Amino acid sequence: MLEVTDGKLIHFEIQSRNEKDMLERMLMYIVLILKQYKKLPIQIVLYVGNESMNMENQLEGEGVKYSYKLIDIREIDCRQLLESDIPEDIVLAILCKMENVDATIRKILDKLSVLPLKEREGYIRKLLYLSDLRKLYPKVKMEVNKMPITIDVKNSDIYQEGKEAGLLEGIELGLELKYGSAGLELMNMVRAIPTVNKLEEFKNLIKKAGSVDELRGFWGRSV
């Protein structure tokens, strides 16, 4: 995700697993962002996975020194996010360091309950997806069932929906940075890709492809 905050260009990614090539990937992104926007971004990777974080975030060599911010969300006290009025912050609290899991879940749902119905349902879906990363889905689902709201989703459905949304966001960023508007023209076709595995395959192809036409060939071969 690329955004401008207080005049600063920020490249932000959420990572749910350790990636061996994360350092190389972020280095590639900063070069592409500089080329496209003529400005160096602040780069942040927020790690939300269950395994211990072990990705590299700095590189130093002859005349080269590079690093990006790598944050393990479990080092953040959930109370900091629960004080926020921003729904995105509130749902992320389920992944942070917490003293009382049940009380934290109830507090999150209490804060989400004041949102308009459609918006509330959307954030509760996100909360259910995130809770699965900490094996808290049954607890969260039980509390959700006590609310005057019906969400008919299965655990696997939530996971797939969340993963698909993350892949689409990453693909869109990659297409914009590498190919500009010509790359973004492919997004309607990308959204029609039927499976998460095929989306992952296309995302990997972006790194290797030399042209938009080469990417278009993906549909003739795979989809």
Query: What is the DSSP annotation of 112-158?
Result: HTTS-HHHHHHHHHHHHHHHHHTT-HHHHHHHHTTSS------HHHH
- Do 177 and 133 share a structural domain? no
Q: Which structural domain, as residue segments, surrounds residue 51?
A: 1-75
189 and 215 part of one domain: yes
Q: Which two tokens stand for residue 154?
A: 């299965």
Domain boundary among 75, 92, 127: 75
Pair (28, 9) in one structural domain: yes
Question: Total structural domains in the chain?
Answer: 3
* Strands, sheet with 2-5, edge to edge from the N-terminal-most edge strand: 2-5, 8-15, 42-47, 69-72
DSSP state of 7: T
Examine the domain organization and report whether 19 and 80 are in the same domain: no
Q: Which of 22, 51, 75 is the last residue of a domain?
A: 75
Q: Quote the pLDDT of residue 162.
A: 60
Q: What is the mean pLDDT of residues 51-56?
A: 90
Distance separating the N- and C-terminal Cα atoms of the chain:
26
Q: What is the pLDDT of residue 156?
A: 43
DSSP 40: P
DSSP per-residue codes, 57-109? -EEEETTEEEE-EEEEGGGSBHHHHHT---HHHHHHGGGSB-S-HHHHHHHHH
Residues 48 and 97 placed together within one structural domain of the fold: no
Residue 220: predicted pLDDT: 65
Please state, in angstroms and rounded to a whole number, the distance separating the CA atoms of residues 37 and 15. Answer: 24
pLDDT in tens, 81-134: 888 888 888 988 998 988 899 999 999 999 998 888 888 888 888 888 788 878
Judge if 173 and 220 occupy the same domain. yes
pLDDT single digits (tens) 59-74: 988 888 999 999 998 8
Same domain, 51 and 40: yes
Out of 56, 75, 94, a domain closes at: 75
Judge if 53 and 121 occupy the same domain.
Answer: no
pLDDT in tens, 152-211: 544 445 555 566 777 787 788 788 777 777 888 888 888 888 788 888 888 888 878 888
Asked whether residue 58 falls in the same domain as residue 47, the answer is yes
Residues 171, 127, single domain; the answer is no
Distance CA 113, CA 106 (A): 10
More confident site: 151 or 101? 101
pLDDT higher than threshold 50 for residue 55: yes
Gap between the Cα atoms of 64 and 39, Å rounded = 18
Q: Rg (Cα) of the chain, in Å, rounded?
A: 19
Are 197 and 143 members of one domain? no
For the chain, the helix, strand and coil percentages under 3-state DSSP, each to the nearest 5: 55, 15, 30
At 116, is the secondary structure helix, strand, or coil?
coil
